[in-house]
Amino acid sequence: MAEEMEQWLSSLLRLTDEEEKMTEKQIKIIQAAVDIFADKGYASTSTSEIAQRAGVAEGTIFRHYKTKKDLLLSIVAPVMSKLVAPFVLRDLHQVLDTEYEQFEDFLRAMMRNRLEFVVKHAPIVKIMLHEIPFHPELQSQFKEQLFPQVGERLKRIITHFQSRGDLIEMPPFALLRMSVSAIMGYIFTRCYLFPEHDWNDEEEIERVVNFIMHGLAPRKE
């Protein structure tokens, strides 16, 4: 448990330096693993296939990663942290509680930012989504570490705008859920359902933001 916590903290802290002190072959291994995991799923990918694709002996994989699951976690855990990093880092300049004058500015920035991230790391995010339900280590990282912090933080932001009269009276969790649904709905459709479609991101972001703003505005009269 202490080891997991340490691992998670370290992966959070090194946000910039990726593939830092990795061997050439180790990078090849990661690339091959990401490719095949995303394509066939973790459980039906064999270490021999990864080694083959990476142009490496099978033993080399186990020199760097104790087990196959270790390889998976070393791929997924950092991205999982980074995916929610903007919500958990207190001193991040981009998204701070009071930085945005209007809720819609906050929404726009957040949606642009996270969409960009998912587009960039699409295969790993796909692996993440598929494997979280089956690996207790990832589940606990999500349910115990990430969600409470992120949820609390977002709830405070929403309550802020709500108390200003910008949002309808409603339990903050429900407001949060509907906002996130609308945003994730687009990101998911855009990146996983129809990645080939010729999307106009700015236009769609505007639509979603307007949808949320009108849908959650205080009811007039």
Provide the binding-site residues for its own copies, judged by CB under 8 A: 40-41, 43-44, 126, 130, 133-134, 170, 174, 177-178, 180-182, 184-186, 189, 204, 207-208, 210-212, 214-217, 219
E runs forming strands in 24-67: none
Helix axes 147-163, 172-188, angle to 10 degrees: 110
The option from DNA, its own copies, none interacting with 174 (CB < 5 to 8 A, set by class) reads its own copies
Please identify which residue in 4, 35, 49, 204 interacts with DNA, judged by CB under 7 A. 49
Between CA 138 and CA 36 the distance in angstroms is: 19
The option from DNA, its own copies, none interacting with 63 (CB < 5 to 8 A, set by class) reads DNA
Q: Could you tell me the smallest distance in angstroms from the CB atom of residue 27 to DNA?
A: 9
Closer CB to its own copies, residue 9 or residue 129? 129
Closer CB to its own copies, residue 83 or residue 216? 216
Q: Is 7 helix (H, G, I), strand (E, B) or coil?
A: helix
Q: Could you tell me the smallest distance in angstroms from the CB atom of residue 182 to its own copies?
A: 6
Q: Could you tell me the smallest distance in angstroms from the CB atom of residue 37 to its own copies?
A: 11
Q: Tell me the CA distances in angstroms from 154 to 102, 106, 167, 218, one per residue in order.
A: 15, 11, 14, 19
Q: Is 48 helix (H, G, I), strand (E, B) or coil?
A: helix
Between CA 67 and CA 83 the distance in angstroms is: 25
Which residue carries 């997991």 as its tokens? 4
Q: Could you tell me the smallest distance in angstroms from the CB atom of residue 60 to its own copies?
A: 24
Closer CB to DNA, residue 14 or residue 69? 69
How many other C-beta atoms can be found within 10 angstroms of the C-beta atom of residue 15?
Answer: 13
Please identify which residue in 4, 41, 68, 85 interacts with DNA, judged by CB under 7 A. 68
The option from its own copies, DNA, none interacting with 68 (CB < 5 to 8 A, set by class) reads DNA
Q: Is residue 102 within the footprint of DNA (CB under 7 A)? A: no
Helix axes 68-88, 147-163, angle to 10 degrees: 20
Number of alpha carbons in the 13 Å side-chain half-sphere of residue 11: 19
Closer CB to its own copies, residue 95 or residue 178? 178
DSSP state of 218: P
Q: Report the site for DNA in 181-210 (rule: CB under 7 A).
A: none
Q: Is 200 helix (H, G, I), strand (E, B) or coil?
A: coil
Residues making contact with DNA (CB under 7 A)? 23-26, 45-49, 56-60, 62-64, 66-69
